[in-house]
Structure 1
Amino acid sequence: MRAVSPTQVAMLVVVLIIGIAAGYAIGGAAAPPKVSTVTVTQAAGAVTQTVTQTATIATTATVRVTVTQPVAALSGEIPIGVLIPLSGDLASEGALNKAAVEIAVEDLNSYVKALGLPVTFRLLIEDSATDPTTALAKLQSLYARGVRAVVGPMTSAEVRNLKSYADGNKIVVCSQSSTAPDLAVPDYIFRNVPNDFFQGKAIARLLIDYGVKYTYILYRNDAWGKGLADATEARYKEIGGTVLGKVGYDPKKGDFSAELAAAASAVKSAVSRYGDKAVGVLLISFEEAGTITAQAGGYPELMGVTWFGSDGTAMNLKILEAAGAQLVKVKHLATIFAPTESPKFTEFVNKFRAKTREFPGTYPTTAYDCVWLLGLAIIQAGKYDGEAIKNSMLQVARSYFGVSGWTILDDNGDRAGGDYDVWAVVVKDGKPSWEKVAVVDTSSDAVRWIKRI
């Protein structure tokens, strides 16, 4: 229905009053008093308000006119907060994600302009420092500035620490990379990646497919690291694998010799019984993987078996700088959620490379899509209100195909499954580099090798 202007509303009220007055002139003083209601609505999706007006005609009738008319909908500048690690353990990843959300908001603003909407989205970017305490403080600061929708943070430890504040203050959070299984609950946190129940299955299948039946797990001792280690161990045992040991480490340490010595002892014993092809190491880590792997170079037992990793290290360039030679030797086959290759993905890759001269990888694509999901949910909600945005997210996600693919979310607000790319460290042009070597299809529980190394 076409919008009704305030002038048209006034004319309707006048016509109604005149009509009723004429009726009384014809019907005489014996006609009973009459109350009439008129409702005028704007086009579908508009924000409306109800206005009740009373008009007295002569001394015989009171007319109550109720008009539903449009109020000011979304307009002007709308903030979207961004919490990304521009320092700390994932600083190099944070820089890539920053570039991605900047591209996203440019594209989103072009879209709303083409629709003729009088709004502009603006990013308010804060450094979470890959630190849970800092992430919470920055979220509180954004809330004080009026922000009700936020992209990030990247880690599950950060998300866990700010979850209560976000829920209590109705701040919609869209994390591009938080995957801890225990955060898969209905709340104001939406995660544009599958939780690690899926990645644990992918890693376990990769290990078995590669012939590794005995694995030593060394993991970052935080919400994400422990969650992924537990999920992997459970599935690995189900399909015939044996865990030689599972040890958590403090990521703030600089010396990992105690953990590496224990791993070397367990690996040496297993190799003597089962052979080096059947034994492996799973390192669940962030950028400290460079330090750990470099120090592992001093243990021949560890350098003699294949290592595996996860989304915390896949495609990370900083660890190549710290331990390139060692990573090439152990291969470090790392899983990460696979974006769907499409024309939209290709277009984004081209824009990203023009801006950064780098390939984006997975989490810049999911960060890009978080900007769009929040923006579209705000538009659909019709107001910048946390609860209204939250209530729009699942519906928006069901119909949005982004640069990472379909963004369908489950009832907990997490990406509803997906496949995992496998990246390994190889030598290209005389230097250590990442190469995609396989894809794990979680629906069929199978590995498709592109290049078996």
Structure 2
Amino acid sequence: MSGIAVAPHLCVSMLALAVAGCLFTVAAAADTQASPEIRTIGLLVPDTGNVPDFFSGQITGVVDFALAEFNRYLHESGADWRLEVVKRDTKSDPAETLALVEELDSMGIKAFLGPATSSNLRTIQDYVAANGMVAISYASGASDLSIPDDRIFRTISDATTYANAEHALLRNDGIEEVVVVFLDDVVGRSVNHTIYEAIEADATDGISIRDTIKFHPDTGDARAVAARLGAVLAADPPVEDHARLGIVAYDYTGKVVEIIRQVAGASIPGMNDTRWYGPGLLMNELHADDAVRSFLIETDYQALSLAYRENDLNIRIDSLINDAGTFTYAAYDALFIMGNAIDMVGNATHGDAIAAAIPEAARLGHGPGLHQHIQDPLTRGSGNLFEYAGALGANIELNEAGDLARSDYTISSIVDDGFRITHRYDSTADSVHEFVLPTKMRIGILVSETGSLAEGIGIAASGAISLAAYHYNLDLAREGADWRLDIFKKDDGTYPPATLENVEAFHADGIKALIGPLTSGSTAQMMDFVNDNGMVAVGYASSSPDLALPDNIFRMRASDEKTADVYARLLHHDGITDLVIVYRDDPWGRSLNERITERASHIGGITIHPGINYAPDTSADSATDYHPVVDALKSRLSGVDMSGAAVMLFGFSEGWAIVDIARTDPALQEGRWYTFLASPDVRLSPEQISWMEKVGYSSVITRHVSNALSRHIDANIPGANFYSYHAYDALHTLADAIEQTDTSRNAEALAAAIPEAARLLPAAIGFQTALNEAGDLAGSDYHVYEMRDGAFQVRALYDHATDSLYALVSRPS
């Protein structure tokens, strides 16, 4: 994979990274310099191998975001260089990692971020030192890698702080004996060793190590570990009080889920009375397994997670990346620290100088240009929410070994509907105290960042949802609210069966409230499941009249019932005598064909020829040949007087393929064309424009009333259009309903609250978002655009309040 330099204002699609959406950022003007110097660093991530599937996507996504932000900072500060990142997959393999470091070195890249794991970091340590390189790891925590002057820095504290936190928690809970179950790799052995040292060093705590049990990183040895635990509990001396026996499990690969499942099913005497402890990284996986969740609730499982102070930056990252957490924030900070050090040194190739600059670069944070971060006029209050710091929520201080100097930890318990933070470990006081973080209300976001609607609508709509979540959580933080919105995105590739799979997955994870999906086809696919399984959804783009039903699916778009009527009026006004409708064979296309046919028939004077439907593309790799569609169209129009003929084309991105075939066909140079466009702002070739002017190419497009909010969305989301505003409004409507009902899981309560939340919404779309009895936007105004003088221009306005079509003008002769 080659490195890509990201411009300061670039919106990066995060879908392939399990991320969610567009990287909104304050837009910067284009670089005035013709060719700023490019300074390149590496990024080592485990795309494959022995790490959780989501981890690589989180790291890659946040580094993309940090890179865009850092280059924006360089642009705004007038710097004459830009940062580039070259990414490589370590496969979680030490030998592969060393080979990649050697490759980076051969490319002249001396500075890099990563690797993630301590075993990989240990393998490259000598090579980095011997070859004038420098690295910042964002996830390694092995304590034996805390070595001064080794050219390797870490934005994570070493395992000693984790062991101290675990020890303090055991002490706080009155535990007397401990069994440590650990992953048999560099990090696991380090954690086991440091926990042992922490307990042994404190002769006053009354805690002793009963035994330690290791498991293989690849196989997990689940049955063997369960049997060994049973033997340890049965061994002499007998356990006096099982409630004072702590089982400390350390793992980051997911193997511990199967181990706990085996333990839970083994009926080990006294086991269900013990107390279990572990890291917070795998909490979602542990909670998702019914047997494991039940066992850990009974044994009062306590999970340690690195703590961070909430600020506007990590709120923003949370809105962009699914399940963002400490390692994600650490990776963001790692890029900024490396970038600042390179800026201080003046190049990216002198590893010695960069290494010497890193501690000061960390201490200075994100540079003077970003200490005053986003001052958002759209959220309540003025100025910044917090004193600006890094994504970890604090100024970065490295110790003598080049690691994060100190870390606090939050302590959470698994409960039926998720997990709840109850305590915090203070590393300065080495103590545990009660602590409550805002409750996270999780909702599922159904997006289409790939597929036939990605470019025109999907990516921008996803970005608007992220922006809305950021704004909403920023407001909640300013108000001191006791909850936050927690969004989790899934992409359907504009493919309805994938939407249903995503909805089923959300339901399995306990998520009941949804935003989306994008299309009517996807909405129809999931409708029965949503209504039958106690879920609720707020859509932002679906408009098929066939889906206007009083159910648990709300839509911030008006039904196309009226759109069809506007098209029929245009046909009458334009003197059309013959009509052929070409439409995408999905619920949206079929409903438009039916309604327009019905209304045109009612008007009279129009011969409606049989419509032409086509199967939509189902993947980005589809290579459908649309010549048969155009051939069928010509056949329908054979013998027709083209001066009164019209073609209506209702499709997504594949519609452009049909247009490009039609515009070069001599038989289709007359008549009028009407079509679906997401926006009048489309990039067209001179040849396309010339043909469109010839055929009066027209489209009915929702009219929005520009306001401060829509302009802010335009400034932050490249390619934003009215679908983006609807998506933004959908998120806020559902969030307001959650705030009113204090739940994100009671679909009945949310469905009752959504109409009023929509009515009161200060909407980005610019008009009141009242819903009708079917739960859809009650109505919209429309502009009719026609290609004239090289651009789409307004030729008419439909006013919903008066049900009138105004400013109709005839085509120039």
Distance in 2 separating the partners of 1:114 and 1:191: 29
Query: What is the match of residue 284 of structure 1?
Result: 650
Is contact 1:172–1:188 with CA below 8 Å preserved after alignment? Answer: yes
Which amino acid counterpart does residue 414 of structure 1 have in structure 2? D
1:158 matched to 2:522? The reply is yes
SS, match of residue 653 in structure 2: coil
Structure 1 residues 51-70: aligned runs within 5 Å: none
1:103 matched to 2:467? The reply is yes
Q: How many residues align?
A: 367
Structure 1 residues 28-427: aligned runs within 5 Å: 75-92=438-455, 93-240=457-604, 241-252=606-617, 254-271=624-641, 276=643, 278-310=644-676, 313-315=678-680, 317=682, 323=688, 326-339=691-704, 341=705, 345-358=706-719, 360-384=720-744, 385-404=746-765, 405-426=767-788
Distance in 2 separating the partners of 1:175 and 1:113: 26
Is contact 2:612–2:632 with CA below 8 Å preserved after alignment? Answer: no
Question: What's the CA shift for 1:323?
Answer: 5.0
Is there any run of 5+ residues in structure 2 with no aligned partner, and where?
1-435, 618-622
Question: What's the CA shift for 1:326?
Answer: 4.0
SS, match of residue 633 in structure 2: helix
Against the structure 1 CA distance between its residues 374 and 423, is the aligned structure 2 distance closer, same or farther, given a 3 Å change threshold? same
Question: What's the CA shift for 1:413?
Answer: 0.7
Structure 1 residues 17-36: aligned runs within 5 Å: none
After superposition, the C-alpha distances for 1:364-392 in whole angstroms (9 at most, x for unaligned) are 11111100110001111122222211111
Distance in 1 separating the partners of 2:760 and 2:668: 47
Query: What is the match of residue 216 of structure 2?
Result: none
After superposition, the C-alpha distances for 1:57-84 in whole angstroms (9 at most, x for unaligned) are xxxxxxxxxxxxxxxx994222232111
SS, match of residue 625 in structure 2: coil
Is contact 1:290–1:319 with CA below 8 Å preserved after alignment? Answer: no
Against the structure 1 CA distance between its residues 411 and 436, is the aligned structure 2 distance closer, same or farther, given a 3 Å change threshold? same
Against the structure 1 CA distance between its residues 364 and 169, is the aligned structure 2 distance closer, same or farther, given a 3 Å change threshold? same
Counterpart among 443, 449, 452 of residue 807 in structure 2: 449
Over the aligned positions, Cα root-mean-square deviation in angstroms equals 2.6
Question: What's the CA shift for 1:411?
Answer: 1.4
Is contact 1:293–1:327 with CA below 8 Å preserved after alignment? Answer: no
After superposition, the C-alpha distances for 1:143-193 in whole angstroms (9 at most, x for unaligned) are 233322211111111011111111122221111111112211111110111
TM-score (norm 1): 0.74
Distance in 2 separating the partners of 1:421 and 1:222: 25
Against the structure 1 CA distance between its residues 356 and 414, is the aligned structure 2 distance closer, same or farther, given a 3 Å change threshold? closer
TM-score (norm 2): 0.43
Distance in 1 separating the partners of 2:675 and 2:648: 6
Distance in 2 separating the partners of 1:434 and 1:153: 29
Question: What's the CA shift for 1:353?
Answer: 2.9
Determine which structure has greater relative contact order: mean sequence separation of CA pairs < 8 Å that are 6+ residues apart, divided by chain length: 1
Against the structure 1 CA distance between its residues 436 and 116, is the aligned structure 2 distance closer, same or farther, given a 3 Å change threshold? farther
Is contact 2:629–2:658 with CA below 8 Å preserved after alignment? Answer: no
Question: What's the CA shift for 1:140?
Answer: 1.8
After superposition, the C-alpha distances for 1:236-273 in whole angstroms (9 at most, x for unaligned) are 121223313312112237222233223224335222xx
Against the structure 1 CA distance between its residues 451 and 375, is the aligned structure 2 distance closer, same or farther, given a 3 Å change threshold? farther
Query: What is the match of residue 7 of structure 2?
Result: none
SS, match of residue 389 in structure 1: helix
Is contact 2:713–2:725 with CA below 8 Å preserved after alignment? Answer: no
Distance in 2 separating the partners of 1:328 and 1:98: 33
Is contact 2:464–2:717 with CA below 8 Å preserved after alignment? Answer: no
Distance in 1 separating the partners of 2:684 and 2:454: 12
After superposition, the C-alpha distances for 1:125-145 in whole angstroms (9 at most, x for unaligned) are 211111111111112222233
Distance in 1 separating the partners of 2:507 and 2:789: 47
Question: What's the CA shift for 1:439?
Answer: 1.8
Is there any run of 5+ residues in structure 1 with no aligned partner, and where?
1-72
Which amino acid counterpart does residue 396 of structure 1 have in structure 2? A
Against the structure 1 CA distance between its residues 355 and 320, is the aligned structure 2 distance closer, same or farther, given a 3 Å change threshold? farther
SS, match of residue 191 in structure 1: strand
Distance in 2 separating the partners of 1:87 and 1:305: 34
Distance in 2 separating the partners of 1:168 and 1:256: 38
Distance in 2 separating the partners of 1:412 and 1:319: 38
SS, match of residue 392 in structure 1: helix
Distance in 2 separating the partners of 1:155 and 1:314: 16
